[in-house]
Amino acid sequence: MRLLIALVAALLLVAAPAQATPKTHVITGHSAELHPEGITWDPVRRTFLVGSIRHGTVEVVRRDGTTKTLVRDPRMVSTFGIHAVGTKLYVTFADIGLGARSTADTTYKSSGLAVYDLVTGRLLHFVDLAIGEGRHGANDVAVDRRGNAYVTDPASDAIYRVDPYGRATVLHRDPRFGSTTIGLNGIAWHPSGYLIAGRYDTGTLFKIPVDNPAAFTEITTDTNLTGADGLALRPDGSLAVVTNSLGAPGTNAVTVLHSTDNWHTAHTTHRTAPWGDDEPTTIAHSPHGSYAVDGNVGALLTGTTSDTFTLREL
């Protein structure tokens, strides 16, 4: 009987999945010159994944804050928005002149979306989004229930759509999406059939119906969101907005908005300002709560590097 109990206990121990990221309010990351700008929750490994402006990789965040490379492709100078949905990982890439492999031939010219198998890291699609004239720099990505991906480009005036087969089109162009500095940045998919996207330099939020994107409207908010970077729609229907002062006179903060009229207007239900870190960029929801990443991007902007980053719970 004792032998049977021991065998059952051993089987349960083997079958129980490891808890990769323990419940903690702050995760201090350590990785050489990583500088992550994007973050997503990985339901397969039950931990966070982060990108890298410096190296153009996607990294698994281990329990001790160190990282392990999941995705590496020499064509990606810098990785920005990352989003895990089902068994796929969506990764935006670009070159804004801060990557270790930045060149004159790729800066503001290399821009696109790569889609990977989340389990194996195998490449499924590599999509060029340097569509049209001018500068390009894909930044964030949202995915609808059909597997269509929507990508912002703060260096242009367009939102791009990539279908499940890797075919890219311009969802919509509009001068109000563009900027002489940083335009549309964060983006989130709403299950009612529209996108919510934020313009970084002004803090303006737009509601963009994907079936009729030309009919987009501005969402009226009660809070100044200048420097709006990452957006995340939370399970309760609220929207978390990360703002910073990296490229605009914004506040380093995370603001939670709620809407009672299908996002024609929105009001603030929670705001942490100043944020616990100096340069939060994006935020992702996990079973342990919503966490914002600070990848010390400001160091890169001043010509130096850092080996640490922070994930902080909202």
Name the CA radius of gyration of the chain, rounded: 19
Q: Is 262 exposed, middle or buried (0-12, 13-18, 19+ CB in 10 A)?
A: exposed
Q: Is 114 exposed, middle or buried (0-12, 13-18, 19+ CB in 10 A)?
A: buried
Tell me 118's DSSP state.
Answer: T
Query: Distances from the Cα of 196 to the Cαs of 207, 239, 263, in angstroms?
Result: 5, 9, 9
Give yes or no for residue 15 having a pLDDT over 80.
Answer: no
What is the per-residue pLDDT across 178-204, written as a single tens digit (0 to 9) for each?
Answer: 999 999 999 999 999 999 999 999 999
Per-residue pLDDT, averaged over 48-60, amounts to: 98
**How far is C-alpha 8 from the chain's CA centre?**
42
3-state secondary structure of 258: strand
Per-residue pLDDT, averaged over 125-138, amounts to: 96
Tell me 156's DSSP state.
Answer: S
**What percent of the chain lies above the pLDDT cut of 70?**
93
- Identify the structural domains of the chain with CATH numbers, from first to last: 27-313 (2.120.10.30)
* pTM, full prediction: 0.92
pLDDT at 23: 64
Distance CA 296, CA 106 (A): 23
Element (H, E) at 15: helix 2-15
Helix, strand, coil distribution of the chain in percent, nearest 5: 10, 45, 50
pLDDT at 24: 81
What is the per-residue pLDDT across 240-297, written as a single tens digit (0 to 9) for each?
Answer: 999 999 999 999 999 999 999 999 999 999 999 999 999 999 999 999 999 999 999 9
Distance CA 113, CA 80 (A): 10
Per-residue pLDDT band for 13 (boundaries 50, 70, 90) equals very low
Query: Distances from the Cα of 224 to the Cαs of 148, 167, 177, 206, in angstroms?
Result: 31, 36, 18, 14
**What percent of the chain lies above the pLDDT cut of 90?**
92
Give yes or no for residue 94 having a pLDDT over 50.
Answer: yes
**How is residue 243 written in tokens?**
């703002």
Per-residue pLDDT band for 305 (boundaries 50, 70, 90) equals very high
